[in-house]
Amino acid sequence: MIGGFIIQGTERKTVIIRAIGPELTQFGVPNVLINPTLELHDASGALIASNDDWQTTIIGGIIVHSQVQQIVNSGHAPMDPRESAIIANLPAGNYTAIVRGVSNTTGVGLVEVYDLNPGSDSKLDDLSTRSFVQINDNVMIGGFIVEGNRPKMVIIRAIGPELTQFGVPNVLANPTLELHNGAGALIASNNNWQTTIIGGVITHDQVQEIINSGHAPTDARESAIIATLPAGNYTAIVRGVSSTTGVALVEVYDLR
């Protein structure tokens, strides 16, 4: 599983990245990844930090001292010692977090990134996850949180066919996208971004808005939703049409 994010702005941004597996069982998630490992790569692909079991810091790259107490103090310490976490102070740029299972084990996992200094003159932008989309409980789920006292406009995308240009095999040929709020209610959906599905928070045709955003998918079979959302937790779910499977990307971009 590959999670991507972009830092924009003039100041460095402190984030915590987590690879979660065992604690998902308390939420009824089956077949969890028992022992996830975590790698952080910069835009050139270089490995700049890694972790396996958050209570044991791996010194190297940008990690120069034990992070255990910092992780505890952050309020985002994983609940299981087999899960992984990295705190990083990063300049503007693109970053990738890669989650694997120890000894090539497999299962359902969660990769997360939290902003630890939201008041800085930089922002955490473009959250994405790439994974193999299956069916039933094994669809791809992307979550994000909107904070603050003003609604936030975002575009959420479900990408499949255009990944082939980057050498990704077995892509999801026709992804669909659902947006759910913190209560689990479906508030928007899309299948093929050039056809708007009216309902929930979508009240009018969005095709031109998607084009104007600069984030229109390059393939007509891919999906996108623009939503103006109040503070809260949100979940984007990606499935394949007719229960098809394959590798896909779910993304959230901050439009303002």
- Closest CA relative to residue 4, chosen from 43, 31, 35: 43
Average pLDDT over residues 153-163: 97
15, 112 Cβ separation under 8 angstroms: no
Q: For residue 109, what pLDDT is reported?
A: 93
Q: What distance separates the 2 farthest-apart alpha carbons in the chain? A: 52
User: What's the pLDDT at 124?
Assistant: 84
* Token pair listed for 98: 């890669």
Mean pLDDT, the chain, rounded, equals 95
**How confident is residue 141, by pLDDT bands cut at 50, 70 and 90?**
very high
Q: What is the pLDDT of residues 88-104, one digit of tens each?
A: 999 999 999 999 999 99
Q: Which residues pair with 15 in a beta bridge?
A: 88, 115
- Reply yes or no on whether the pLDDT at 80 is more than 90: yes
Backbone angles phi, psi at 54, to 5 degrees: -65, -20
Of 29-43, 109-123, 147-161, minimum mean pLDDT range: 109-123
Cα–Cα distance, 38 to 107 (Å, whole number):
15
pLDDT digits (tens, 9 = 90+) for 170-183: 999 999 999 999 99
Confidence of residue 147 (pLDDT cuts 50, 70, 90): confident
Q: What are the Cα distances from residue 238, in Å, to 28, 78, 171, 223?
A: 19, 26, 13, 9
Give the mean pLDDT of 103-111: 94
Among positive and negative, which fits the CA dihedral 27, 33, 37, 41? Answer: negative
Confidence of residue 226 (pLDDT cuts 50, 70, 90): very high
- Which helix (H) or strand (E) covers residue 7, if one does? strand 2-9
Specify which residues 110 forms β-bridges with.
20
pLDDT confidence tier of residue 123, bands split at 50, 70 and 90:
confident
From residue 125, alpha-carbon distances to 48, 135, 178, 253, 255 in Å are 20, 29, 20, 6, 9
Contact between 30 and 137 under an 8 Å Cβ cutoff? The reply is yes
Contact between residue 78 and residue 20 where contact means Cβ atoms under 8 Å apart = yes
Give pTM, 2 decimals: 0.86
Q: What pLDDT is recorded for position 68? A: 98
pLDDT band at 126 (very low <50, low <70, confident <90, very high): confident
pLDDT category, 168, cuts 50, 70, 90? Answer: very high
Q: What does the alpha-carbon distance between residue 138 and residue 189 come to, in Å, rounded to a whole number?
A: 19
138 pLDDT tier (thresholds 50, 70, 90): confident
